[in-house]
């Protein structure tokens, strides 16, 4: 498919490719590493409202280079293709990024049952996060690069082929937000509603750190943190909530194994009682990238297939939807992640 570049800007001072029709360093415009712009397929019908929204984001949206999407880039992708948006919530070091990159690695290697890899628009984003986490790194313990507090929210994309024939395709956007942002929600519960992915997400995944639940000195405080994040989230409409015990390998190899599981189940039952009546709720045990020092090879990716099966099980896939471009009120990020799909009549 041929693509048309609507507008190009350059980060180099003194370079204006729109006026000069070229690059001051001699690059072709399409190959210049300093360019910014928006790419829209030439067969896409752009309604007036959409055209205004596109122009409003020029200068903040890059030509796709494989990095994680910013909020405006995720918005444009959703308007063009639609996708399941999965918001992963948790405290710092709970395992948010490790779960995301191991999902990418295992689905890419056809190790998640009926789910297989069908492409990604953010491969560089995954690779930059995954090198020290994947098994081929040779590290006994995963060392996923943490998403730091000063970093804005980003979105990781991959496409899934579902079933033995792989003829059902669905796009997924995983939200990569810092744990520090959720710590802030504990102090200011209303803050959660300002995160653009929260009202847009098809599923919210709340992580509980299994390693902390197996530690008598940390368990009570961590359960309090999880509850406070949940209470902040529960102020918003929630379609589906998954409560996930991460680092399950640490729990299984702990002397406090039974107590840690009891603590998790108590948390699960408490949140279920507090949930809105129309919210679908499931709980899971996850060992995305277990430690290799304790012979946990059989646990690699434990729980991931069951976790993502919920994402698609009750969701109508893209073949049953049609695209709809919503009208934006003022173009703020909150508005830009509105649900862009509408069921066929």
| pLDDT single digits (tens) 134-191 | 544 444 454 555 555 567 899 999 999 988 777 788 899 999 999 999 999 999 999 9
Whether residue 303 sits in one domain with residue 200: yes
Whether residue 164 sits in one domain with residue 275: yes
Whether residue 60 sits in one domain with residue 92: no
Whether residue 328 sits in one domain with residue 221: no
Q: How many folded domains does the chain comprise? A: 2
3-35 tens-digit pLDDT: 444 455 665 556 766 565 566 556 555 555 555
β-pair partners for 282: 242
Whether residue 300 sits in one domain with residue 327: no
Whether residue 126 sits in one domain with residue 242: yes
- Name the pTM for this structure: 0.73
What b/e readout covers 235-250, taking b as 16+ CB neighbours within 10 angstroms?
eeebebbbbbbbbbbb
Q: Where are the beta strands (DSSP E) in the chain?
A: 3-10, 35-41, 84-89, 115-117, 154-162, 168-176, 203-209, 240-246, 280-285, 321-323, 341-343
Query: Domain range for residue 8?
Result: 3-81+320-343
The CATH code of the domain that includes 230 is 3.40.50.300
Whether residue 130 sits in one domain with residue 268: yes
Whether residue 279 sits in one domain with residue 141: yes
Cα–Cα dist 84/65, whole Å: 22
Whether residue 211 sits in one domain with residue 97: yes
Whether residue 203 sits in one domain with residue 59: no
Long-range contacts of 276-280 (CB under 8 A, 24+ apart): 276/234, 276/237, 276/238, 279/238, 279/239, 279/240, 279/241, 280/239, 280/240, 280/241, 280/314
- Closest by Cα among 245, 247, 250, 248 to 207: 245
By mean pLDDT, which of 20-29, 41-50, 256-265, 296-305 is the weakest?
A: 41-50
237-253 tens-digit pLDDT: 998 999 999 999 999 99
Whether residue 157 sits in one domain with residue 35: no
Whether residue 274 sits in one domain with residue 177: yes
């Amino acid at each position: 498919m041929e693509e048309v570049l609507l507008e190009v800007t350059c980060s180099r001072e003194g370079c204006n490719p729109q006026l000069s029709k070229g690059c001051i360093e001699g690059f072709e415009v399409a190959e210049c590493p300093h360019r910014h712009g928006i790419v829209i397929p030439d067969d896409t019908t752009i309604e007036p409202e959409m055209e205004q929204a596109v122009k409003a984001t020029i200068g903040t949206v890059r030509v796709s280079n494989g990095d994680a999407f910013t909020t405006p880039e995720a918005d444009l992708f959703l308007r063009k293709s639609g996708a399941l948006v999965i918001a992963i919530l948790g405290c710092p070091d709970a395992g948010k990024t490790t779960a995301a990159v191991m999902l990418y690695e295992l689905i890419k290697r056809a190790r998640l049952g009926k789910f297989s890899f069908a492409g990604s628009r953010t491969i560089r984003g995954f690779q930059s996060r995954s090198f020290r986490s994947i098994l081929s790194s040779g590290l006994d313990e995963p060392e996923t690069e943490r998403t730091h507090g000063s970093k804005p929210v980003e979105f990781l994309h991959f496409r899934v082929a579902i079933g033995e024939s792989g003829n059902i395709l669905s796009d997924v956007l995983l939200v990569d937000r810092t744990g520090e942002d959720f710590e802030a929600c504990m102090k200011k519960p209303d803050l959660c509603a300002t995160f653009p992915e929260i009202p847009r997400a098809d599923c919210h995944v709340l992580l509980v750190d299994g390693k902390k639940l197996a530690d008598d000195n940390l368990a009570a405080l961590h359960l309090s943190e999880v509850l406070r994040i949940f209470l902040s989230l529960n102020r918003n409409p929630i379609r589906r909530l998954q409560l996930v015990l991460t680092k399950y390998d640490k729990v299984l190899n702990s002397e406090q194994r039974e107590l840690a599981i009891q603590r998790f189940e108590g948390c699960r039952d408490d949140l279920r009682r507090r949930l809105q009546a129309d919210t679908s709720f499931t709980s899971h045990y996850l060992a995305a990238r277990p430690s290799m020092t304790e012979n946990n090879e059989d646990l690699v990716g434990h729980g991931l297939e069951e976790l993502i099966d919920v994402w698609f099980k009750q969701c109508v896939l893209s073949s049953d939807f049609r695209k709809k471009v919503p009208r934006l009120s003022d173009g703020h990020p909150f508005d830009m992640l509105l649900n862009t799909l509408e069921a066929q009549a």
